[in-house]
């Protein structure tokens, strides 16, 4: 979930590995039960209301989602093993499972750079990042060859996952007219998507714009959340070493995208953080999540999902060159910023239902205009 420098001790560089030729799917509609298959019953701790929408059959979902998870591995290595570890399964539940009401979810396991291996990669060793990207690209090609069949696609990523998708879309979707027609939308959160200054395109993507209006399809929703405007790793591409390592546009000529989900959804009401009620698998990210929500911890209830009692609104602001989505709590609840990372861990889950609503609207637009 976090893609920035931390202290790593005893990390040894592995031999450079080739991209995986056999995709291991973390989530796949052909799997009977995976982390993206969760009921959607939700308790709202502010109102006490319990919502329990009917499940949507895979055959009734008109589009697909391709999800790439963020930096979550607890391994002490430069590349995580290609296994669906407990922490990887947990983050898929947190971030991707809610989108399964809109789309069939395809999520590959990839050999990401773990949190404890990040400093070595950031220091100049490109091979670990290349290994992770090779897995994501191989999985995308596998999906296109065997599962897509011309269906519309929504990309969903966060942090390191967003970095991988920025490169994938830039190199393999943006230049391809047919795949651009199949692009329903992309939620590239917490990963410094760039545009040319003052433009909706011209940074990462020459043809695919960032979204600007309700119901707009074929565009990118992207932002990083924060509370008080401190300098951080997000909002200014000149400070993003991973962007540089992946060869993506960065520097003072580019602006980090911030798209206001209230505008894109047409719903400006205050929102809360919606998370699975089951505890996140123990590890580094679980500890950081607990810190972010001290002293109360993540919201929980008897339902599969819980929405916090706190509520907030947001707006895109630029502070000292950092372009981010600033949250303002209208119903107070403890949220603590991590130094350099702001409220990074809540980028997707704060207003999760609203993001899924945007995906629904984009799907309706795509179905109308693409057929």
* pTM of the predicted protein model: 0.95
CA distances from 250 to 51, 100, 117, 158, 305 (A): 43, 33, 23, 18, 37
Please give the backbone phi and psi of residue 342, each rounded to the nearest 5 degrees, phi first. Answer: 55, -135
Cα-Cα-Cα-Cα torsion 18, 24, 26, 29, nearest 10 degrees, comes to 140
Stretch 70-75: mean pLDDT, rounded?
97
User: Could you tell me how far CA 338 lies from the centroid of its own chain?
Assistant: 18
Render 160-224 in DSSP notation, one character per residue: HHHHHHHHHIIIIITT-HHHHHHEEEEEEESS--EEETTSSSSSS-SSPPBP-STT--SSEE---
Query: Residues 6 or more apart from 86 whose CB is under 8 A from it?
Result: 281, 282, 283
The C-alpha atoms of residue 5 and residue 269 are separated, in whole angstroms, by 35
Q: Tell me the per-residue pLDDT of 254-264, one tens digit each, with 9 for 90 and over.
A: 999 999 999 99
Q: Tell me the per-residue pLDDT of 288-317, one tens digit each, with 9 for 90 and over.
A: 999 999 999 999 999 999 999 999 999 999
Strand 322-331 to 311-319 pairing: antiparallel
Band of pLDDT at residue 14, cut at 50, 70 and 90: very low
The C-alpha atoms of residue 92 and residue 202 are separated, in whole angstroms, by 31
Residue 320 burial (C-beta neighbours within 10 Å; 0-12, 13-18, 19+): exposed
Band of pLDDT at residue 16, cut at 50, 70 and 90: very low
127, 18 Cβ separation under 8 angstroms? no
Query: Residues 6 or more apart from 18 whose CB is under 8 A from it?
Result: 134
CB neighbourhood size of 101 (10 A): 16
């Amino acid at each position: 979930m976090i893609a920035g420098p931390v202290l790593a001790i005893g990390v040894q560089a592995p031999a450079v590995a080739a991209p995986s030729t056999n995709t291991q799917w973390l989530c796949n509609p052909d799997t009977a039960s995976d982390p993206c298959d969760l009921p959607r019953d939700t308790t709202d701790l502010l109102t006490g209301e319990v919502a329990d929408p009917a499940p949507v059959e895979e055959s009734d979902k008109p589009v697909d989602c391709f999800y790439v998870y963020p930096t979550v591995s607890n391994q002490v290595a430069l590349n995580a093993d290609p296994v669906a570890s407990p922490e990887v399964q947990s983050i898929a539940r947190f971030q991707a499972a809610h989108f399964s009401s809109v789309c069939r979810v395809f999520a590959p396991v990839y050999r990401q750079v773990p949190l404890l291996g990040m400093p070595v990669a950031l220091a100049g060793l490109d091979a670990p990042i290349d290994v992770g990207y090779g897995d994501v690209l191989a999985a995308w090609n596998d999906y296109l060859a065997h599962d897509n069949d011309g269906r519309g696609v929504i990309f969903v990523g966060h942090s390191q996952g967003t970095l991988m998708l920025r490169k994938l879309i830039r190199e393999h979707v943006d230049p391809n007219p047919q795949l651009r027609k199949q692009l329903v939308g992309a939620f590239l959160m917490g990963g410094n998507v760039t545009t040319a200054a003052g433009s909706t395109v011209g940074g990462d993507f020459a043809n695919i714009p960032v979204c600007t209006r309700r119901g707009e399809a074929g565009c990118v929703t992207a932002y990083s959340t924060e509370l008080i405007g401190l300098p951080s790793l997000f909002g200014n591409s000149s400070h993003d070493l991973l962007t540089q390592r992946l060869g993506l546009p960065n520097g003072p000529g580019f602006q980090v995208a911030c798209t206001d989900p209230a505008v894109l959804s047409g719903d400006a009401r205050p929102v809360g953080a919606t998370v699975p009620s089951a505890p996140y698998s123990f590890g580094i990210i679980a500890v950081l999540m607990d810190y972010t929500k001290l002293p109360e911890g993540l919201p929980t209830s008897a339902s599969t999902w819980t929405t916090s009692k706190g509520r907030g609104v947001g707006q895109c602001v630029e502070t000292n060159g950092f372009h981010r989505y600033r949250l303002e709590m209208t119903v107070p609840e403890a949220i603590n910023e991590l130094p350099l990372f702001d409220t990074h861990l809540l980028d997707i889950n704060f207003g999760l239902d609203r993001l899924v609503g945007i995906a629904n609207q984009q799907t309706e637009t795509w179905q109308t205009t693409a057929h």
